[in-house]
């Protein structure tokens, strides 16, 4: 899974949203239990976990060592870090896509000139080759957007994940 860094507006959606998506009718899944106790990577190595969803950078060492079997990426595109691993869409779960993403948000009523300066600085940072090299080490990719594109993206994410949250009862603890 690639983490997207989007310029325009600070929000994060965890890869763990993929598991409730299966449980909420996006595809057949006989179980869903939120992570409890040891991290999923440790439970997987001790044969305590049947299935888990986590970020590629977090699990990559265990996957490459053969300690964890990766089934699919909950991403729209394959990962350069795991090019042979199919996406959930490729294995029949097209609606399960839960890329992590981050962006900049500002208070309502921010003067347009201030918004434009912040946006310009964020875009310049996301186009910086050194920053993108660091992103690559995390299997992340910059995906700059205009403020309008990012607002539309957030609305689309809310429309996609809102029903999953309601149906599964997922909540922040």
Q: What is the pLDDT of residue 119?
A: 94
CATH 1.10.150.570 fits 3-168, yes or no: no
The whole-number mean pLDDT for each consecutive block of 10 residues of the chain, a chain of 173 residues, reads 38 43 48 46 48 75 86 85 89 84 89 94 94 85 90 91 86 76
Confidence at residue 60, expressed as pLDDT on a 0 to 100 scale? 83
pLDDT given for residue 90 in this prediction? 93
pLDDT at 135: 86
pLDDT value, residue 153 = 92
Domain ranges of the chain: 3-168
φ, ψ at 18 (rounded to 5°): -65, -40
């Amino acid at each position: 899974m690639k983490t997207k860094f989007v310029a325009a507006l600070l929000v994060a959606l965890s890869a763990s949203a993929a598991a409730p998506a299966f449980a909420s009718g996006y595809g057949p899944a006989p179980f869903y239990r939120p992570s409890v106790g040891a991290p999923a990577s440790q439970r997987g190595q001790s044969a305590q976990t049947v299935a888990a969803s986590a970020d590629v950078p977090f699990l990559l060492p265990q996957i490459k060592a053969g300690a964890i079997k990766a089934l699919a990426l909950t991403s729209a595109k394959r990962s350069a870090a795991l090019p042979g691993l199919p996406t959930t869409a490729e294995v029949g779960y097209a609606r399960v896509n839960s890329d992590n993403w981050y962006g900049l948000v500002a208070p309502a009523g921010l003067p347009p000139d201030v918004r434009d300066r912040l946006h310009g600085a964020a875009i310049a940072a996301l186009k910086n080759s050194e920053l993108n090299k660091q992103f690559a080490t995390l299997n992340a990719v910059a995906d700059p957007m205009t403020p309008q594109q990012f607002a539309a993206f957030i609305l689309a994410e809310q429309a996609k994940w809102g029903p999953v949250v309601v149906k599964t009862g997922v909540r922040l603890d």
